[in-house]
């Protein structure tokens, strides 16, 4: 049987198609967002279908909220850390012993606020690639609010409430003893280098029949809230004793000052006249 050039070409094309077809795969992962508690370790699932080996492939994990910057890369049977986002260093890893069966999941340890975002799992072979994106949400319940007294302010008493360690950023409200919201100054929000939020807010309160006031910090997305109540004695709202004390101290200071001045003058005068003291 004579083999023509056309037959050879057909065989080559069939071989290439078969090779390309055998390289094809899908990258799959969870359809729901992953909710992580700050400080915990989490796994971002990602795997190949069919369950072929990923040992000879390039596995990239990217953070899409950082302009596709790299969270982790596995290539040529080793981990590449050259262009990894700095705060992921030492906190990310693959299950390398399971790469042979297509498990390319990422383990992320000691979750912090800045880890929230969208992550892409990108797998590349020599002739094919596919990817999958999963969202990570981070929740952190902050500290119990700390309330401090700032003293007399504009006809009332100034109070300050502070709380830290929250994610996402919470809201803060002041309430009177009946649960009615009090008008307060603008909420101050600060975010630390790990992505956790600190909030504080000043309020000026007037004397009531109970003088009980509450600072509440709440985060509705994670359904968490904490609050601190403070009771102010009625005496704090009456500035008269403080003013009287101030006036008395000023008078005493003036009397002492005048007395010292007279004593020094008398001593100097007697010395000037040659008298022995």
Phi first, then psi, for residue 263 (nearest 5°) are -60, -45
Nearest to 224 by CA among 143, 129, 160, 108: 143
% of the chain residues with pLDDT over 90: 69
Q: 3-30: per-residue pLDDT in tens?
A: 455 443 333 333 333 344 456 999 999 9
CA distances from 41 to 37, 169, 193, 233 (A): 8, 21, 19, 47
Please give the full DSSP string across 232-259, using - where no structure is assigned: --GGGG--HHHHHHHHHHHHHHHHHHHH
Delimit the domains of the chain by residue range: 23-139, 146-237
pLDDT for the residue 236 = 83
Q: Is the pTM of this model over 0.85?
A: no
How big is the chain, counted in residues? 277
Report the alpha-carbon distance of residue 92 to residue 73 in Å, rounded: 10
Q: What is the DSSP letter of 15?
A: H
pLDDT for the residue 154 = 80
Q: 127-177: per-residue pLDDT in tens?
A: 999 999 999 999 999 999 999 999 888 878 999 999 999 999 999 999 999
Asked if 246 and 152 count as a contact pair (C-beta separation under 8 A), the reply is no
How would you class 271 by CB atoms within 10 Å of its CB: exposed for 0-12, middle for 13-18, buried for 19 or more? exposed
Residue-averaged pLDDT of the chain: 85
Pick 146-237's CATH classification: 3.30.360.10, 2.60.40.10, 3.30.1360.200, 3.40.1260.10: 2.60.40.10
- Sign of the alpha-carbon dihedral angle for 96, 98, 100, 106: negative
Q: 44-56: per-residue pLDDT in tens?
A: 999 999 999 999 9
* Dihedral angle, C-alpha 159, 165, 167, 173, nearest 10 °: -10
Asked if 80 and 57 count as a contact pair (C-beta separation under 8 A), the reply is no
pLDDT for the residue 8 = 39
More confident residue, 214 or 242: 214
* Superfamily the domain 23-139 falls into: Immunoglobulins (2.60.40.10)
Phi first, then psi, for residue 250 (nearest 5°) are -65, -40
Q: Is there a common fold for 23-139 and 146-237?
A: yes
Report the alpha-carbon distance of residue 213 to residue 19 in Å, rounded: 73
Q: What is the mean pLDDT of residues 194-217?
A: 95
Q: Which of 104-113, 123-132, 237-246 has the lowest mean pLDDT?
A: 237-246
pLDDT for the residue 21 = 45
């Amino acid at each position: 049987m004579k083999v023509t050039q056309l037959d050879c070409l057909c065989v080559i094309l069939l071989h290439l198609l078969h090779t390309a077809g055998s390289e094809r795969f899908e990258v799959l992962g969870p359809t729901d967002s992953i909710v992580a508690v700050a400080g915990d370790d989490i796994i971002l699932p990602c795997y190949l279908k069919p369950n072929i080996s990923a040992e000879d492939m390039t596995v990239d994990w990217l953070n899409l909220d950082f302009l596709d910057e790299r969270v982790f890369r596995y290539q040529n049977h080793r981990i590449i850390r050259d262009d990894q986002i700095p705060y992921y260093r030492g906190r990310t890893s693959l299950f390398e012993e399971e790469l042979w069966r297509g498990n390319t999941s990422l383990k992320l340890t000691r979750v912090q606020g800045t880890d929230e975002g969208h992550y892409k799992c990108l797998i590349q072979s020599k002739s094919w690639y596919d990817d999958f994106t999963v969202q990570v949400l981070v929740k952190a319940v902050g500290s119990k609010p700390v309330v401090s007294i700032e003293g007399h302010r504009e006809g009332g008493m100034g109070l300050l409430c502070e709380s830290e360690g929250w994610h996402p950023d919470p809201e803060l409200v002041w309430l009177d003893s009946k649960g009615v919201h009090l008008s307060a100054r603008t909420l101050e929000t600060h975010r630390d280098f790990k992505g956790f939020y600190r909030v504080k807010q000043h309020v000026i309160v007037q004397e009531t029949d109970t003088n009980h006031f509450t600072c509440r910090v709440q985060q509705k997305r994670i359904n968490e809230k904490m609050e601190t109540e403070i009771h102010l004695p009625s005496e704090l709202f009456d500035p008269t004793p403080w003013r009287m004390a101030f006036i008395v101290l000023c008078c005493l200071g003036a009397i002492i000052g005048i007395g010292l001045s007279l004593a020094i003058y008398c001593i100097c005068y007697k010395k000037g006249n040659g008298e022995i003291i």
